[in-house]
Amino acid sequence: MSQHHLVIGAGPVGRHVAALLADRGEHVTIGTRSGRDTGLPGVRHVALDASDADALTRAATDTAVLYNCANPGDYTQWERTWPPLAAALLTAAERTGAVYAITGNLYPYGPVDGPMHAGLPDAATDHKGVLRARLWADALAAHRAGRLRAVEVRGSDYVGPGTGENGHVTRVLPAALRGKAVTMIGRTDLPHSFTDVLDVARTIVAAAADATAHGRTWIVPSNPPRSQRQALTEVLAAAGRPPVPVRRLPVPAVRAVGLVSPMMREVAEMGYQWTAPYVVDDDETRCHFGIEPTPWDEVCRRTADGVDA
C-alpha cells in the first residue's frame, strides 16, 4: 500500500527524492515557500513555511517520512535560518510520528587526515560545520529518547543535473562548455570525492525505509575520487567538448577577498577541503543497502545534460 511522503525543499536532492518515490507509486508532496510546481509527474506541491512548526505539522499529518532536503544557499544566513527550520522539522516529526530523514553533508567532520566514514566523530571547529553537527546531535538525541526516528545521509560535493552553484564543478561548467577558461578554488590536482545528487536521493530513501538504519549517519556511495580538473574535463568529454584551461584561486586569496565579501569569507572557512585530499569511505553504506554509485560515465553525461550553457 502506498504511503505519503513530505519532501521539504525542491533543490536537486529534493526533486530526485520526490521523483524516485513517485515512480514507485507513493503519494509525494514537495513543500517550499513558493509552492512552485517542479513539473514532476504525480507530485503535489504546497506553499509552506517549514520553519513554522504548526504549519509543518499540519502538512505532515499522516506522513510516513518527512524528508529534510532544504538547502539555504546563503552561507552568511545559516545561523539565522537553520536553527528555527531544524527545530520545526524535529517538532513536526515528533508530533506526527513520521520518520525524519535528513540530507546532511561532510562539514561536521571538519579537516581530516584520511577518508571520511560514518564512524568519525563530528569534530568541526568552523561555525558551519559546528552548526550542522549540532543539528544532527539534536535529532539523534530525540531519536535516542524515543521521541522520533531519525537518520541522516552525508554526501560529498554534488554533481548531477540541477546542482548549479551548489557544486564546484557545475559552478564553472557553463563557461567551460562555451570553451572559456575557468577558475576553481584551491588545489585542482588533489583527489576529491564527488557525489551524484541521484545517489543522495537513492540513499536517503533507502535509509528512511529501513528501521535498522535509523539513529545514525550514512555516507552516500560515491565514485572513486578525482581531482577538480579531472572531474571537469571528464564532464566536458561527456558533452563532446575539449578540455579548457583551469586556473586555481589559492585559499589565501579567497581569505583576502573575504575581508570585503562576507560570502567569500564563509567559503574560505571551508578551504581545508581544497588543500588536501578529501575523500569518502562508503563501504559500510554499500554493504548495508546494496547501493552502488551511478556509473561515473553516466554521472558525467547527466551533469553535462543538466546545464544550460
Domain range for residue 171? 164-190+226-274
Q: Model confidence over 157-177: pLDDT tens digits? A: 999 999 988 899 999 999 999
Number of domains, the chain: 2
Please tell me what DSSP assigns to residue 188: S
- All cell numbers assigned to 175: 563557461
- All cell numbers assigned to 222: 560515491
Please tell me what DSSP assigns to residue 304: H
Residues 42 and 186 grouped into a single domain: no
Cα 141 to Cα 150: distance, rounded to the nearest angstrom? 9
Is pLDDT of 190 > 50? Answer: yes
pTM: predicted TM-score of the whole model, two decimal places: 0.96
Beta strands in the chain (DSSP E): 4-8, 27-32, 43-47, 65-68, 99-105, 149-155, 157-159, 182-185, 194-196, 217-219, 246-249
Residues 177 and 71 grouped into a single domain: no
Residues 101 and 149 grouped into a single domain: yes
Residues 111 and 152 grouped into a single domain: yes
Residues 119 and 210 grouped into a single domain: yes
Cα 98 to Cα 89: distance, rounded to the nearest angstrom? 10
Residues 138 and 284 grouped into a single domain: yes
Give the pLDDT of residue 166: 82
Residues 142 and 286 grouped into a single domain: yes
**Structural domain includes residue 305:** no
The residue with cell 552553484 is 165
Residues 22 and 98 grouped into a single domain: yes
Residues 151 and 170 grouped into a single domain: no
**Structural domain includes residue 304:** no
- Cβ-contact 183, 286 below 8 angstroms: no
Residues 184 and 98 grouped into a single domain: no
CA-CA distances (angstroms) from residue 204 to 40, 79, 165, 198, 234?
19, 25, 22, 10, 27
Strand-pairing partners, residue 7, are 30, 67
What's the angle, vertex CA 235, arms to CA 233 and CA 236, rounded to 5? 65
- Cβ-contact 213, 149 below 8 angstroms: no
Q: Model confidence over 241-280: pLDDT tens digits? A: 999 999 999 999 999 999 999 999 999 999 999 999 999 9
Q: Model confidence over 54-110: pLDDT tens digits? A: 999 999 999 999 999 998 878 889 999 999 999 999 999 999 999 999 999 999 999
Express as a percent the part of the chain with pLDDT over 70.
99
